[in-house]
Structures are given as structure tokens and as C-alpha cells.
Amino acid sequence: MSDPQVPPPASAAAAAGEPRPIRFVHRGRTVELDPRTPATRSVLDWLRDDCGLTGTKEGCNEGDCGACTVVLGDVAADGTLALQPVNACIQFVPTLDGRALFTVEDVGTPAALHPVQQAMVACHGSQCGFCTPGIVMSLWATYERHRAAGTRPTRQQLADDLSGNLCRCTGYRPILDAGEQMFSIAPAAGFDPQPVLAALRAMAGDGAAAHPGFHAPRTEDELAALLEAQPGARILAGSTDIGLWVNKQFRALPDLVFVGAVASLKRIETRDDGTLVIGAGASLESAWSALAARHPALRDVYLRFASRPVREAGTMGGNVANGSPIGDSAPVLMALDATLVLRRGDRVRRVPLDGFYTGYMQNQLEPGEFLAAIEIPPAPPATAMRAYKISKRFDCDISAVCAGLALTWADDGETIAAARLAFGGMAATVARARGAEAALVGQRWTEAALRTAQAALASDFAPMTDLRASAGYRLQVTQNLLERLWLETRPGQPLPESAVSVFARPGALPEEAPR
């Protein structure tokens, strides 16, 4: 990989506060985006059609197959280069501003293959070869991340990192083999992140860029002002949904206000009172990682939320604000009693997530208002928290049902003091099962209480039949998931995860005593 050229010092025009074009690091150089490029041009089309770089492939044009996987580079908080695999087909080029873009052409050539590529050849990891560049990019991100950290991924971690890459030929065994072997191959010349970091740092001081139809404020104040002035503008975060509006529905979009350049929105922190604050711009990957660190039982839903590239691009704020009834964040956050921080202009208000949704894809956000953060209070003592996801495929599949379940016991250690049972896929919005909750509160956690609560679920929800599941299955499995919760958390002879889930991983969870 050649050294990126450090961009020229800020021009007189920039110094004078005039708009500057979108800039990013690509092919070892800092490039400026042609202002005639449509704001919604995908990184994939830009690469293939505008740059003639055809190594990156289009398989589905909706972020579900991974043939277009590229890697984005940012300066991490610790000053290192953070690499994130993302789907180029649903990323808009202007969102690359201030970042580095790596494609398969950057990794190695047929005559000088990178260890990732050599391992793929040696393990027979390609057959038709069409998904291969995307797989190489996912593995490259894994390789460089572990090389920098001096660690090695397990086979399981490799499979998780490849959750967004479909291969129809190999059955994946040789690809996972390649992921293990790539660390054993001596690189001809290691990837040196320093020139890229230098180029990124040189751009970091730039003010906001201007691109027709595209705004990328750098601060929350700028964002608030912009949205107040243009309430009809569309907030753009990870574009994992909006990308499809463009690619598949040809929707005409208003001006885009990109929140990805607002650093403060990406913060994830724990306040002194134990509240976990997830900035609305934090990636799904970092947000779920923080949640799963606090509640290990969330790991399954974390790792099954979309795919790694979608989690790297998408934001938890976007998932919550978008408000799809089948988004997996809301049921979990609702069970955790999360509060949303909403801002419009200078006004900041806090709204409980429970009640935020007013109808199918409808919520309490006012025109010009945006979601700034998600606040998750510490769980009360003697609380059991579980999240269960049901889908046809383990990885990257939209839930038929997703459950966030929290039970809190009273001081006597036997009576259920509070129950928060939230479900996605059961109604027009993610919603709590009020009847089932009421059936449990004040009761001891017995099989009789379970059966009453299960029966109440049938009154709480009237789910629909669609391509993912029938109404009957949805209700049945919801009732059965409550039974799984009981089996895992009942006072007498609770069962470990490995006895109630086929996906339990060895050493997954510390046994959690409810009392």
C-alpha cells in the first residue's frame, strides 16, 4: 500500500470559512469528491463506475450479501487506525468525508498477495470468486485489528466477523480455515497505518464540508440549528435503511443531514449514577458491545443483530428512531427501561422509550427534533435480564420475534416486584406485554405464575402472519420464550443457558442468581 499524500494545508478559501469539498483518503491519496456527484451516489457505484475499480462486486444492492464489503478507516480515540468493514452498496460517497476507504485493490495484487489472500488461495477459499473480494475485506479488517492488538481470533469470532458475507459455493469451511491460517503467513510488507493516520489527522481540523444536498455538521449545536432551520431535511446516520430507499425504491430524498461527523453523538459513557449513555450516533457494534458488557445475557442478540458490516455502519439511535416493529434494539432497551434524550434547537427533553412509539413507524419526534442519546439506568438489584431472538437464520436475519425480558424481585427475594416484558414482531410497534407483566407482579415465580402470564400474552398481542412467521407461531413462541425465561431464572433448579438454547456457547454466561 503506497503512502497517502498529506493534503495541502488548508487553503485561503477554507481559512476564510468558505465551503470545502468532501475529502477522503483513497488509493493512498487524499481525494476530493466531484461536486456534481449526487449526494446519494453509493460508494459501490462510485468505485465501479466513476473510478473503474471493479474488484468490489454488487451482489444484492441492499447490504445483505457482503460482495461489496469495503473497509473504512478512522482515527480511534486511542490514536490508532480503527478499521470497519461496511457494505459499499448502501453507503453514500459524501459520508466518507474525513475517512479512509480501502478496497480489495488496496490489499494486494495477484503478483503480490497479502497473507489474507494467500491463505484464501492455499485453503481453496474461493470457487466462483464473486463473493471473494468482500470476504477478503472482512478478513483483512479482522487481520489488521488482531495484528495491531497482538491477538488471534477464535474460529467462532471469525464466523461472527463473516456474518455479513454470503458465499454460495464453498460452505465456508475453507474460508474459516483461511482466517486461521492467515496469521501464519509472513507478510511481504506489513500494512503501515501511519501515513493514513497522518492524512486523516490532517483533515481532522477541517470545518464542515459542503456538497449539494448534503450537510455534515460537526457539533450537536450545528446539527440542532440545521434541523431547526430545515425541519424537512432527512437525518442520515448509517444509511443501512435509507440506502435501500434509494437503491430499491428510487425515493426522492430531501436534503440529507449526516450525523456521522458529530463526534459527541458517538460517545458511550457511564455516568456516576451508573446510567449508561449511548450517543445516538454510536455504531450498533459499539453500542451493543457496551450493552452486552453490562448484561452478558444480551450477547446472543448483539451478535445476531444484522451483520458485522451493518452494525459497523448503522447506529443504535437510527434503529430506535426509525422505529421498525422488528428492530431488535427497542425490545431490549424497553426491558432495560431506557429513556431517550430528544433535542430540538436548544430544547432538550427526556422521553421514556416505553411510549415513544405512537403507531407503525410513528413516534414522538417533532419536526426539527432529533434523538441525541439513549440513557439506560442501572438495573435494580435482584434483576434478571434476558433477550431472545427467533429467526430462520442465526446470523443477519430479521426477527420473527425478539424479546427483551427483565424481572426484578422484591426484597423478600421471592415476590416479583417488577416485570418488563417487551416484544418486537408482535404488533405494529415494539411493545410491552402489559397483561403478562401484571400477571407476574406481586406473584412468586412459580410454574403457575408462568402459565397465567403465558395465557395473558394471548390477550396482549394479536400478531400477524407474514413471510417470516405465522401469527400462531409468533404467539406460541412468545409464550414459550417466557417459559424459557422461567426455566433459566426460576427459584428452584434453574437451568443453564446450555440446557435451553441450541446456540449457547461454551463459557458464555456467568450464572446469574435472581435473588
Partner 1 sequence: MNRPTDLPQDAMAGAAAAAAPRVVGRSRPHESAALHVAGAAPYTDDMPELAGTLHAALGLSPLAHGRLLGVDVARLRALPGVVDVLLAADIPGENECGSIVKDDPILADGTLRWRGQPVFAVVARTREAARRAAALAKDVIRAEPLPPLLTPEAAHAAGQYVVPPMHLVRGEARAAIESAPHRLTLDFALGGQEQFYLEGQISYALPQEGGGMKVLCSTQHPSEMQHLVAHALGRPSHAVQVECRRMGGGFGGKESQSALFACVAAVAAARLARPVKLRVDRDDDFLITGRRHDFVYSVEVGHDDEGRILGAEVTMVSRAGHSADLSGPVMTRALCHFDNAYWLPDVAMHGFCAKTNTQSNTAFRGFGGPQGAFAIETVVDSIARRLGRDPLAVRRLNFYGLQDRNVTPYGQPVEDNILEPLVGELAARAHYEARRAEIAAFNATSPVLKKGLALTPVKFGISFNVVHLNQAGALVQVYVDGSVLVNHGGTEMGQGLNTKVAQVVAEELGVPFEAVRCTATDTAKVPNTSATAASTGSDLNGKAAQDAARTVRQRLAAFAAQRYGGEGFDPDAVRFEGGVVTVGAERIAFAELVNQAYLARVQLWSDGFYATPGLAWDRQTMQGRPFFYFAYGAAVSEVLVDTLTGEHKVLAVDALHDVGSSLNPALDIGQVEGAFIQGMGWLTMEELVWHPQTGLLLTHAPSTYKIPTANDLPPHFDVRLFDRPNPKDSIHRSKAVGEPPLLLPFSVFFAIRDAVSAVGGHRVDPPLAAPATPEAILRAVQAVKAATAATAAAP
Residues 154-173 contacting partner 1, CB under 8 A = 158-160, 162-163, 165-173
Q: Rule CB under 8 A: choose which of 74, 180, 206, 397 binds partner 1.
A: 397
Does the protein bind partner 1 through residue 185 (CB under 8 A)? no
Would you give the distance in Å from CA 65 to the centre of its chain?
16
What is the identity of the amino acid at 176?
Answer: L
Q: Which is nearer to partner 1, 161 or 337 (CB)?
A: 161
Least Å distance, CB 365 to partner 1, is: 25
Q: Which stretch binds partner 1 (CB under 8 A): 21-29, 180-188, 395-403, 424-432?
A: 395-403
> Footprint of partner 1 on residues 363-392 (CB under 8 A)?
388, 390-392
Neighbours of 484 (CB within 10 A): 19
Q: Which stretch binds partner 1 (CB under 8 A): 17-25, 254-262, 420-428, 499-507?
A: 499-507
Q: How far is 158 from 332, CA to CA, in rounded Å?
A: 26
Does the protein bind partner 1 through residue 396 (CB under 8 A)? yes
Q: Which position has the grid cell 430507499?
A: 245
Torsion of CA 168, 171, 176, 177, to 10 degrees: -120
Q: How far is 300 from 385, CA to CA, in rounded Å?
A: 13
Q: Which is nearer to partner 1, 75 or 100 (CB)?
A: 100
> Footprint of partner 1 on residues 302-341 (CB under 8 A)?
none
Q: Rule CB under 8 A: choose which of 108, 243, 331, 514 binds partner 1.
A: 108
Q: Which stretch binds partner 1 (CB under 8 A): 194-202, 288-296, 397-405, 435-443?
A: 397-405
Q: How far is 243 from 90, CA to CA, in rounded Å?
A: 4
Q: How far is 63 from 202, CA to CA, in rounded Å?
A: 31
> Footprint of partner 1 on residues 444-483 (CB under 8 A)?
466-470, 473, 476-477, 480-481, 483
Does the protein bind partner 1 through residue 110 (CB under 8 A)? yes
> Footprint of partner 1 on residues 271-290 (CB under 8 A)?
none
Per-residue 3-state assignment (H helix, E strand, C coil) for 28-76? CEEEECCCCCCCCCEHHHHHHHHCCCCCCCCCCCCCCCCCCEEEEEEEC
Least Å distance, CB 103 to partner 1, is: 7
> Footprint of partner 1 on residues 225-254 (CB under 8 A)?
248, 250
Best CA proximity match to 341, nearest among 276, 406, 431, 428: 276
Does the protein bind partner 1 through residue 68 (CB under 8 A)? no
- Strands 29-32 and 23-26, bridge-based pairing: antiparallel
- Strands 383-390 and 431-432, bridge-based pairing: unpaired
Q: Rule CB under 8 A: choose which of 25, 81, 83, 131 binds partner 1.
A: 131
Q: Which stretch binds partner 1 (CB under 8 A): 146-154, 335-343, 430-438, 495-503?
A: 495-503
Q: Rule CB under 8 A: choose which of 71, 88, 107, 326 binds partner 1.
A: 107
Q: Are 323 and 429 in contact (CB under 8 A)?
A: yes
From residue 165, how far is each of 129, 181, 182, 238, 306 by CA, in Å? 13, 19, 18, 18, 11
Least Å distance, CB 252 to partner 1, is: 10
Least Å distance, CB 398 to partner 1, is: 7
Q: Rule CB under 8 A: choose which of 14, 122, 210, 464 binds partner 1.
A: 122
Neighbours of 316 (CB within 10 A): 32
Which are the contacts of 228, defined by CB distance < 8 A and separation ≥ 6? Answer: 344, 345, 368
Q: How far is 419 from 451, CA to CA, in rounded Å?
A: 15
Q: Which run of H or E residues covers position 120?
A: helix 115-122
> Footprint of partner 1 on residues 24-53 (CB under 8 A)?
48, 52
* DSSP state string for 215-230: E--SSHHHHHHHHHH-
Longest Cα separation, the chain: 76
Q: Which is nearer to partner 1, 172 or 183 (CB)?
A: 172
Q: Which is nearer to partner 1, 18 or 49 (CB)?
A: 49
Does the protein bind partner 1 through residue 487 (CB under 8 A)? yes
Q: Which stretch binds partner 1 (CB under 8 A): 101-109, 142-150, 324-332, 456-464?
A: 101-109
Q: Which stretch binds partner 1 (CB under 8 A): 107-115, 220-228, 257-265, 377-385?
A: 107-115
Least Å distance, CB 217 to partner 1, is: 29
Least Å distance, CB 475 to partner 1, is: 12
